[in-house]
Amino acid sequence: MKQALIAIFFIIGFGTASEGKEKQRAGVGKIDITPQGPIWMSGYASRNKPSEGVLSPLYAKALALEDGHGGRAVLVTTDLIGLPREVTDIVSAKAMEKYKLERSQLVFNSSHTHTGPVVRGNLSVLVSQQPEFKPAVAAYTEKLKDDLLTVIGAALGDLSPAALAFDYGEQKFAANRRVITPQGVIIGVNPNGPVDHRVPVLRVTSPNGKVKAVLFAYSCHNTTLTGEFYQLSGDYAGYAQAELERQMPGTVGLFMMLCGGDQNPSPRSKLEYAQDHGKSLGGEAVRVARGKMPPVSGRLRTAYQLTALPFAPHTREQFEKERTDPNIFKQRRAEFMLKQYDEHREERQLSYPVQAIRFDKGFTLFTLGGEVVVDYALWAQREWPAERLMVAGYSNDVAGYIPTARILKEGGYEPVDSMIYYGHPGPFTAEVETRIHDALRQVKQRTTK
C-alpha cells in the first residue's frame, strides 16, 4: 500500500461584487488514511478475520471556511465507520491550541462505511478481533489522530478568497429499513417509511469560475457492501466522491453522512450496487454544482454544546442475569456494565454533542452525534422552513443510535438491540427527542443575529 499522501488544493474564488467585498476564504486538504496492511473491519458482527486487500482508498478531507469578519469553521470528513469522542476530543484540543480554533468551529463527520477499519473506542462490544490484530487497530487509531490534525492544518494553510453557493439535488436509492410486523420491527425495505432523498451540495468556486471543491451529503447507511466483503472501501460514499472527482478534474469531493440511522441503500449486497449508487449520487452532486446555485454570504457563526440523554433505569441484577445469556454480545455487554457497577461509575446518561455552523444567508449546518434517524432532519426542515438546511448525523461522536420517541415505542434494532453492540445499558428514555430538539433550538439561536 502506498504511503499516505497529503494533497493540498488552493481554493480561490470570486463571486458577485457584493460577495467579493465580504472577503470569504476557503481551503481544502486531503489525506489518504487507508490502513497499511490487514486490519480488523468494523460494522458487522459476523466477520471473523481481518481485511483482505483494498477495493478503493479511504480518505480524510477538510474544508476550511472564513467569512471575512473573523468567523471560521473547518469541516472534516472521513471514510470511516465513526469517530468516538476519545479521538475527536484529543484532535480538537490539539487543533484549538495549534490553530487558535474554538471547539464549535470544528466538525468531524464519518461516512459510516462498513468496509472500513475498526477505530479504537467505537463499537467495542461488537468487535471481537483476534488478539494479534489488536495492536494494528491501536496503531491505526493513534496515526489517525495525527492525520486528522494534519488535514485540518492543510485546509487552514490553503485559505484564499472564495465564492460559496448551496443548493439541493435528489437521489432515491435510500429506503427506510424499519418494517413493522406482528412479531416486531425487522430490518428490510419499508416503502411507506420516512425518508429524506435530498442531496445538499455546497460549492466552492475559483476566480475563473472553475469549481474547486464540492461538499455533498446524503441520508443513507453506507452499507451496500455487506458482511461477506473483506476488502476495504468507502462503499457508495467513496465511489460517489471518486465519481465527482472523475467528472470534475481538479475538484475535491467531500461527502458528509446525514441522518441515515434508519435508512439502507436499496438494492445492496453486491459490489456493482455500491458502484452504481456512488455513480448516481456523485453524478447528481455534479449536476447541481454545474448549475446556477444560490450564493452563501454574510457572517459565519458557530455553536457547540453537550446535552445529556438519559438511559432507561437499569440495575446490577439485570446484568448479572444477562451474563449467562447464550448471546455472546450480551455476555460482553454484561461484563462491561458490571465492571462499571464495581467501580461505581455505571452509565446513566450519554453526553451528546449538538452543533450549528451558520452563514447569515444561504447555508445552515446542524450536526448531531451518533446514528441519527431521519425523523430529526425532517423535523428540522419543518421547524425552520426558511433556512437552507443540512442536518448531519455521525458527527463529533458516534456512540450509538439516536431514536425518536416514536421509534423507541416501536422497538427493534435501532432503539434497543444496537445498544448491546455499543456497550450501553439499554435504550434511552422518551426524553431523548425533546432534549435534542431543545439543543438544536439553542445552538440555532446562538448562531442567529
Average pLDDT across the chain, whole number: 93
User: Above pLDDT 90, what percent of the chain?
Assistant: 87
Parallel, antiparallel, or unpaired: how do β-strands 106-110 and 72-78 relate? parallel
8 Å CB contact between 381 and 328: no
8 Å CB contact between 113 and 235: yes
pLDDT at 336 over 80: yes
Q: What is the pLDDT of residue 399?
A: 94
Cα dihedral 356, 357, 360, 363 sign: negative
Contacts (Cβ under 8 Å, ≥6 apart) of 298: 22, 67, 359, 360, 361, 362
Give the range among 5-19, 94-108, 184-198, 346-360 with minimum mean pLDDT: 5-19
Contacts (Cβ under 8 Å, ≥6 apart) of 37: 1, 136
Q: Domain locations in the chain?
A: 6-296, 312-346
Q: What is the pLDDT of residue 129?
A: 55
- The mean per-residue pLDDT over the stretch 344-362 comes to 96
- The mean per-residue pLDDT over the stretch 7-31 comes to 58
Task: Give the pLDDT band of residue 32 (cuts 50, 70, 90).
Answer: very high
HSE, CB side, 13 Å, CA atoms: give it for residue 203: 26
Alpha-carbon span 99 to 13, nearest angstrom = 23
Give the range among 266-270, 285-289, 328-332 with minimum mean pLDDT: 328-332
- The mean per-residue pLDDT over the stretch 70-99 comes to 97
pLDDT in tens, 223-281: 999 999 999 999 999 999 999 999 999 999 999 999 999 999 999 999 999 999 999 99
Cα dist from 222 to 235, 276, 292, 437, whole Å: 6, 13, 29, 25
Q: Which amino acid is at 100?
A: K
| DSSP 8-state class, residue 80 | S
Q: What is the pLDDT of residue 378?
A: 98
Q: What is the pLDDT of residue 1?
A: 42
Q: Which amino acid is at 7?
A: A
8 Å CB contact between 127 and 258: no
pLDDT in tens, 42-65: 999 888 899 999 999 999 999 999
Q: What is the pLDDT of residue 203?
A: 98
pLDDT at 191 over 50: yes
Cite the DSSP H helix spans in 121-186: 134-157
Cite the DSSP H helix spans in 199-315: 235-247, 271-289
3-state secondary structure of 322: helix
pLDDT at 121 over 80: no
pLDDT at 5 over 70: no
pLDDT at 310 over 50: yes
Query: Can the peptide bond before residue 267 be classed as cis, meaning omega within 30 degrees of 0?
Result: yes
Task: Give the pLDDT band of residue 299 (cuts 50, 70, 90).
Answer: very high
pLDDT in tens, 212-228: 899 999 999 999 999 99
Q: What is the pLDDT of residue 19?
A: 38
Q: What is the pLDDT of residue 13?
A: 32
pLDDT at 6 over 80: no
pLDDT at 26 over 80: yes
Alpha-carbon span 216 to 405, nearest angstrom = 29
Q: What is the pLDDT of residue 21?
A: 47
Q: What is the pLDDT of residue 8?
A: 35
Cα dihedral 239, 369, 150, 38 sign: negative
Number of H helices, E strands in the chain: 11, 20
Alpha-carbon span 402 to 345, nearest angstrom = 22
- The mean per-residue pLDDT over the stretch 380-384 comes to 98
Q: What is the pLDDT of residue 344?
A: 93
Q: What is the pLDDT of residue 2?
A: 40
Task: Give the pLDDT band of residue 449 (cuts 50, 70, 90).
Answer: confident
- The mean per-residue pLDDT over the stretch 323-334 comes to 93
For residue 267, what is its C-alpha cell? 438494492
- The mean per-residue pLDDT over the stretch 354-361 comes to 98
- The mean per-residue pLDDT over the stretch 297-309 comes to 97
8 Å CB contact between 199 and 49: no
- The mean per-residue pLDDT over the stretch 141-165 comes to 97
